[in-house]
Amino acid sequence: MSSGRQLRSSARRSEAPRRVYPGYMGRPYFVRSLADLSADLASAAQAVLPPGGEVRGIFDVPPQEFPSWAKYRYGPRHALIFTSAGVIHAQTAALGQPAQVHLAPAAAIHYVQVGQLLLYGCLEIGYAANGQAQHVALEFNTVGWDLLQPALRELLRDVSVVSPPPPVDAQTPVISVAEIERLPFKFASGLQIYTLAPGERLLALAFQPGLWSRRLLISRRQVTPAIVLALTDRHVSLIEEERALTSKPSYGWTFTFIPRHGVTGIRCAPAPLGRLISIEMLVEGATATHELELTAEVAATWEAQWRGRGAQWVEDISNAGAMG
């Protein structure tokens, strides 16, 4: 078993190569065939496509540049190729070098995570390869989100087919629409529009608002951003607001989908805010974790619902003394 991989609570900003294109946040496209890609990406993808694999669609992200405080940061061309066997990520490399390519089979996927902040988007897919936790990531202009979301939903549906989640009795009560709508509007709509796929059943729900502390009586800083935790019949799903860097709330958020078949349980330990919970995953011999810091009250609410669904919850008291 590998030493594993730890997700962070917001989408990562990957390093990009030197300038490759004078455009600005190029618009992504959705194409249907490898023939619609540049020759280097098409050739690289074809080399790892399993025999008999069918290409269902391709999210094609052109070379682009991202604004920064001091200067522009430049990104290569990416393609996310959705197939009947999983997803292939291909990326152009330095001049004269072959394209980089990785295959993430549906059965090997740990998680799918999407971060959005205005026009900036970052997608990360974690998966197991040769007993090690790996990930692929690409940045994109969020005007292409409506093209990408249906393909991601189909990928997650494939994961639940090839690696079925624990069965849920048809009579198990679900979270009602009225309960969802008690959330702040941003998170209620995020849960209904972005998180839940058609037919997906919401079994447990907890919400932690953003917490702030005062500084010098006139300013404040955010201790932790707002978080929604949801358990469905297919995933552990999270909505995490981007941490605010000023006294004003953030507009960005991150959606994380963790297929239930890979979730081995939750470990809980004392933390300054209250409790640190770690969602632990194991897929094809590779481990990964996702950590969240919650207040004691929210952690207790989530624990009761989690245990109520027969899932494992481990109380880690090894750090209790250090936390006082």
Answer yes or no: do 282 and 246 share one domain.
yes
Asked if residue 132 is part of any domain, the answer here is: yes
Q: What is the pLDDT of residues 133-168, one digit of tens each?
A: 999 999 999 999 999 999 999 999 999 999 999 888
Q: Could you tell me which residues come within 8 angstroms of residue 65 by beta carbon, excluding any fewer than 6 positions away? A: 19, 21, 22, 23, 24, 25, 72, 73, 74, 75
Asked if residue 321 is part of any domain, the answer here is: no
- What pLDDT is attached to residue 138? 92
Q: What is the pLDDT of residues 186-200, one digit of tens each?
A: 999 999 999 999 999
- Number of domains, the chain: 2
Q: Which residues of the chain have pLDDT under 70?
A: 1-5, 8-25, 67-72, 95-96, 212, 214-222, 244-249, 317-324
Using the 3D structure, point to which of 113, 134, 162 is the last residue of a domain. Answer: 162
Using the 3D structure, point to which of 102, 136, 162 is the last residue of a domain. Answer: 162
Distance, in Å, from the CA atom of 164 to the CA atom of 235, rounded to the nearest integer, reads 11
Distance, in Å, from the CA atom of 241 to the CA atom of 254, rounded to the nearest integer, reads 6
Q: What 3-state class would DSSP assign to 220?
A: strand
Strand partners, 66: 73
Strand partners, 75: 64
Using the 3D structure, point to which of 129, 162, 195 is the last residue of a domain. Answer: 162
Q: Please check whether residue 99 is in contact with residue 41, taking contact to mean a CB–CB distance below 8 angstroms.
A: yes
Asked if residue 58 is part of any domain, the answer here is: yes
Answer yes or no: do 101 and 190 share one domain.
no
pTM for the structure as a whole: 0.87
Q: Which residue has the tokens 């962070």?
A: 8
Answer yes or no: do 141 and 184 share one domain.
no
Answer yes or no: do 155 and 285 share one domain.
no
CB neighbourhood size of 312 (10 A): 12
Answer yes or no: do 191 and 308 share one domain.
yes
The CATH number of residue 208's host domain is 2.30.29
Closest-CA residue to 90 (of 114, 69, 60): 60
Q: What 3-state class would DSSP assign to 251?
A: coil
Answer yes or no: do 186 and 122 share one domain.
no
Answer yes or no: do 205 and 116 share one domain.
no
Answer yes or no: do 60 and 195 share one domain.
no
Answer yes or no: do 17 and 158 share one domain.
yes
The dihedral region occupied by 131, where left means phi > 0, alpha psi between -120 and 50, and beta the remainder, is left
- What pLDDT is attached to residue 210? 78
Distance, CA of 132 to chain centre: 18
Task: Tell whether the torsion through CA atoms of 43, 113, 17 and 251 is positive or negative.
Answer: positive
Distance, in Å, from the CA atom of 90 to the CA atom of 275, rounded to the nearest integer, reads 39
Domain that holds residue 202: 177-315
Q: Give me the amino acid identity at 189.
A: S
CB neighbourhood size of 36 (10 A): 14
- What pLDDT is attached to residue 316? 78
Q: Please check whether residue 34 is in contact with residue 58, taking contact to mean a CB–CB distance below 8 angstroms.
A: yes
DSSP letter assigned to residue 302 = H
The CATH number of residue 41's host domain is 2.30.29.30
- What pLDDT is attached to residue 69? 60
- What pLDDT is attached to residue 73? 73
- What pLDDT is attached to residue 212? 66
Answer yes or no: do 190 and 158 share one domain.
no
Distance, in Å, from the CA atom of 177 to the CA atom of 116, rounded to the nearest integer, reads 25
Asked if residue 63 is part of any domain, the answer here is: yes
Asked if residue 171 is part of any domain, the answer here is: no
Q: Considering just the CA atoms, what is the radius of gyration of the chain in Å?
A: 20
Asked if residue 208 is part of any domain, the answer here is: yes
- What pLDDT is attached to residue 102? 96
Q: Please check whether residue 312 is in contact with residue 264, taking contact to mean a CB–CB distance below 8 angstroms.
A: yes
Asked if residue 322 is part of any domain, the answer here is: no
Answer yes or no: do 10 and 156 share one domain.
yes
CB neighbourhood size of 139 (10 A): 22
Answer yes or no: do 155 and 182 share one domain.
no
Q: Please check whether residue 145 is in contact with residue 119, taking contact to mean a CB–CB distance below 8 angstroms.
A: no
Asked if residue 116 is part of any domain, the answer here is: yes
- What pLDDT is attached to residue 222? 63
